[in-house]
Structure 1
């Protein structure tokens, strides 16, 4: 099943990821139990409410299996809450915190961009994505109660950053957060993390980028991977505590 991608299906936008995988000609399967990780070619941890997802993962005893999967070297992609899961360290958490899978050498602020009403869309500069997947040099980032990477290790490749209003509090003391700028997409070996939701746009380039990590010699994931010039606008889902 090396051509099969698992999508953690505890909560959040897992159906949307599976739909994009289907568009690109790949099989996506829902993962809720440790044994369902066996023989997968890769894994997507979707966006949702990270604390709720962590509690459900703990209930199903998924954390040891998820950590083992990351250590296999198979590609794993975390979007929004999934990025939090993959980070080695998370700040801005609720009382008591939450368990993490880890693997990405970075510190993530769990709710950097604020509450649900502060969710937004913006054009992100993505030169690496455009070079590999074609299409426009920008990507429409959908941020829903999104995290951000505050610190990244030397082996972490920054794929996208976002310039935020200078009034944004308590962020400029980080060693890699320039004044008014924060990291929102990273790659480290087999691990990919995005603070935004590519699955909620019509542009499939991030999925194609991820799928090429599963294929030898970077073979094409799909001829439609570059996506449309102007992705369709869709309504944002509501994720609540």
Structure 2
């Protein structure tokens, strides 16, 4: 199994380490950085947190955005965390400036509000119930976190925090508004790799 992590900025190294920890449990696998379309020969893709506008602009400039969208539309499993969730959603607004124009992959029937909880200083940790993916209650980090304000079509909420969606899935697309790679647990990555193995 080969997992690609979009590696422009953000916590891509932490995602790679989390995936490697899961591979240590379930068997062999490889994690590679994805920066260009030629790097998309993988079984699953992770789009990490960071600054979604920057990730989108760099992906567009380096010719990754459209091939990535095509690959996801063809069914490759993808995990988008924080900025990755923003990139994958069809609708994006910003809590402060409203409608936001930015390059998106836009494949998931979800609406996301950027910076929902505030800016950097309003970052926090919270316990999220992962019952929908057969997990327990775990603590996760929310850094300038977005919120998933609604899902429709085939998309469904998998976890909420104070009645706000923080994790959702549509077919092979999984998104979280928190940072599972910074939590010290691999439950989200384990769930994602099970999606990849199907």
User: What is the TM-score when the length of structure 1 is the normalising length?
Assistant: 0.76
1:182-213 alpha-carbon deviations (Å, 9 max, x no partner) = 10100110000000000001110100000001
The answer on 1:161 being equivalent to 2:160 is: yes
Q: Using the alignment, how far apart are the partners of 1:55 and 1:6 within structure 2?
A: 19
Question: What is the aligned counterpart of 2:176 among 194, 198, 220?
Answer: 194
Structure 2 residue matching 1:155: 3-state secondary structure:
coil
Give the CA deviation at 1:154: 3.5
| Distance in 2 of aligned mates of 1:22 and 1:92 | 34
Which runs of 5 or more structure 2 residues have no equivalent in the other structure? 24-28
Unaligned runs of 5+ in 1: 164-180, 217-241
Counterparts in 2 of 1:107-122, with a 5 A limit?
107-122=111-126
RMSD value, Cα: 1.4
Q: Which of structures 1 and 2 has the bigger CA Rg?
A: 1
| Within-5 A mapping of 1:168-179 | none
3-state SS in 2 of match to 1:214: helix
The aligned counterpart of 2:110 is 106
TM-score (norm 2): 0.92
Higher strand share: 2
1:185 is paired with a residue whose SS is strand
Q: Secondary structure at the match of 2:115?
A: coil
If each structure's helix is expressed as a fraction of its own residues, which one has the higher value? 2
Distance of 1:125 and 1:20 partners within structure 2: 20
User: Which residue is 2:11 aligned to?
Assistant: 13
